[in-house]
């Protein structure tokens, strides 16, 4: 099938590559010539495991192309996926300007029946706005929707960064919201044909009305964010009463009604989805005269959770951190991505620098993006920026540091050489925002270990080793 993907960001690239992989003729368009140049030269502007290899295969087979030619992109695809950004507005609502601009272009250059698919995460009612914009453009061309028919479909993505290719190729479910009319029936047949390869083992497609499909995406992310904030809230109480949140997690996760997923306490969630989707759904409620009290609490807990590690550092080392150096392992908001959006590391690093500390940061993948983002964060504080050093290895980050801070749970951090770690640090202190190690084991090795919601085991100062 001929498919157009509008937007070569995270969702658009993964969608385009995977659809090309199963044999479709895919045209990816973007208004950013820099991105298109990178893609046409064999590069990938984002880090996602497996994506570069898939793009190399599909490009070599001639099943995917990249261009800034909007007219050609509209003329190419019978199915037009809108996969552009929906960044949060000042009030937390999703900014739909890029979605509606894409819709306007489809109406402006449409050359036949089009299935317009909202792949971007958009609030309830967006499909109707897209429909209105396309109809306006067709009317301006003197065309009616009968002669150049179209249907607007909601097909939200459920891709985890770091596992997106696998999520797309082996989906848990495919949600399609579609109108129950003649155009909708035509669109349903095209979408069914497009997704046949993903349903051969068993039917994964859930058909529903458009508004319910739009709502489903927000509801899914809101539920996952709620589980994270719930455990983070409990972890802070566990710290106070002397319970171990890891034991609690195993205790409640063994209940099949609850399960283990998204029950890990940590230093807050980030990324491109959870923060903005929680805000957008809460704003949708406010616009409709309601309050989603649980979600507002979820957001507040997450905001405060990003300060928990810093509070532990201050309690251990004092408010004035001038002359102190901290190694930070992990900068991206989660492993297997270079995404720095709403990453906890940003808040933690800014807080340490503001107290006069020096920071030596390392991430296996996100170094270039971290440098760009942190320079923007600290643009008005050049004196702080001078005390931030992004280094090439995890061992280099440790050299001469007063303590290690773990922010992202990359695999290479899970079993380090603790002997080397102790010798490289001025004092053997770890502040672990992802609970990678066991407190008792750390104490036995003479490491002063502070985790999230786990008991702190006091060291025998005679075996401290420093």
pLDDT at 201 (0 to 100): 83
Q: Is 126 annotated as a binding residue?
A: no
Going by C-alpha positions, the residue among 330, 350, 339 that lies closest to residue 416 is 330
Going by C-alpha positions, the residue among 428, 434, 429 that lies closest to residue 406 is 434
Q: Is 244 annotated as a binding residue?
A: no
In the predicted structure, residue 418 carries a pLDDT above the cut 60: yes
Residue pLDDT, tens place only, 211-263: 999 999 999 999 999 999 999 999 999 999 999 999 999 999 999 999 999 99
The DSSP code for 49 is: T
- Write the Ramachandran bin of 246: left for phi over 0, alpha for psi from -120 to 50, otherwise beta: alpha
Q: Is 216 annotated as a binding residue?
A: no
pLDDT at 92 (0 to 100): 82
Mean pLDDT of 16-43: 97
Average pLDDT, rounded, for the chain: 95
Residue pLDDT, tens place only, 307-342: 999 999 999 999 999 999 999 999 999 999 999 999
**Of 18, 28, 267, 273, which is the active-site residue?**
273
In the predicted structure, residue 277 carries a pLDDT above the cut 70: yes
| Residue spans of alpha helices (H) in 267-366 | 274-287, 293-305, 308-317, 344-354
Q: Is 233 annotated as a binding residue?
A: no
Predicted TM-score (pTM) of the model is 0.91
Q: Is 293 annotated as a binding residue?
A: no
pLDDT at 465 (0 to 100): 47
Q: What is the DSSP string of 141-192?
A: TT--TTTT-EEEEE------TTSHHHHHHS-S-EEEE--SSHHHHHHHHHHH
Q: Is 86 annotated as a binding residue?
A: yes
Q: Whole-angstrom distance between the N-terminal and C-terminal Cα of the chain?
A: 66
Question: Is 18 noted as a catalytic residue in this protein?
Answer: no
Q: Is 35 annotated as a binding residue?
A: yes
- Write the Ramachandran bin of 16: left for phi over 0, alpha for psi from -120 to 50, otherwise beta: alpha
Domains contained in the chain, CATH given: 2-208 (3.40.50.720), 218-304 (1.10.1040.10), 306-463 (3.40.50.720)
Q: 430-442 burial by CB neighbour count: b if 16+ within 10 A, else e?
A: bbbbbbbbebeeb
Q: Are 127 and 210 in contact (CB under 8 A)?
A: yes
């Amino acid at each position: 099938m001929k498919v157009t993907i509008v937007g070569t960001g995270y969702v658009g690239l993964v969608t385009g590559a995977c659809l090309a992989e199963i044999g479709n003729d895919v045209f990816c368009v973007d208004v950013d010539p820099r991105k298109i140049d990178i893609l046409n030269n064999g590069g990938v502007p984002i880090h996602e495991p497996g994506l570069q290899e898939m793009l190399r295969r599909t490009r070599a087979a001639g099943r995917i192309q990249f261009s800034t030619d909007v007219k050609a992109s509209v003329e190419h695809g019978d199915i037009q996926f809108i996969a552009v950004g929906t960044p949060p507005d000042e009030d937390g609502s999703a900014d739909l300007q890029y979605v509606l601009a894409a819709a306007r272009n489809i109406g402006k250059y449409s050359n036949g029946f089009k299935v317009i698919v909202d792949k971007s995460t958009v609030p309830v009612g967006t499909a109707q706005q897209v429909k209105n914009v396309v109809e306006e453009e067709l009317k301006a061309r003197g065309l009616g929707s009968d002669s150049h028919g179209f249907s607007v479909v909601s097909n939200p993505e459920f891709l985890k960064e770091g596992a997106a290719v696998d999520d797309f190729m082996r989906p848990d479910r495919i949600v399609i919201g579609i109108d129950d009319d003649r155009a909708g029936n035509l669109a349903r047949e095209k979408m069914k044909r497009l997704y046949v390869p993903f349903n051969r083992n068993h039917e994964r497609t859930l058909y529903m009305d458009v508004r319910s499909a739009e709502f489903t995406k927000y509801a899914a992310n809101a539920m996952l964010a709620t589980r994270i904030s719930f455990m983070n809230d409990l972890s802070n109480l566990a710290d106070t009463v002397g319970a171990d949140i890891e034991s609690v997690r195993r205790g409640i996760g063994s209940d099949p009604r609850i399960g283990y997923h998204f029950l890990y306490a940590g230093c807050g969630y980030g990324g491109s989805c959870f923060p903005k989707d929680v805000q957008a759904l809460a704003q949708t409620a406010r616009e409709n005269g309601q309050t989603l009290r649980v979600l507002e609490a979820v957001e507040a807990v997450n905001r405060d959770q990003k300060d928990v590690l810093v509070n532990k550092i201050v309690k251990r080392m004092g408010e004035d951190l001038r002359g102190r150096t901290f190694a930070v392992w992990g900068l991206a908001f989660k492993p297997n991505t270079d995404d720095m959006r709403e990453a906890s590391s940003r808040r933690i690093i800014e807080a340490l620098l503001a107290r006069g500390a020096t920071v030596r940061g390392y991430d296996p993948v996100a170094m270039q993006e971290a440098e760009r983002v942190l320079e923007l964060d600290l643009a008005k504080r050049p004196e702080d920026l001078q005390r931030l050093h992004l280094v090439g290895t995890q061992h280099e980050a440790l050299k001469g540091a007063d303590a290690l801070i773990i922010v992202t749970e990359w695999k290479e951090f899970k079993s380090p050489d603790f002997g080397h770690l102790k010798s490289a640090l001025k004092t053997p202190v770890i502040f672990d925002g992802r609970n990678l190690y066991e407190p008792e084991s750390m104490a036995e090795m003479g490491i002063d270990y502070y985790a999230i919601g786990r008991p702190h085991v006091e060291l025998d100062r005679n075996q401290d080793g420093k």
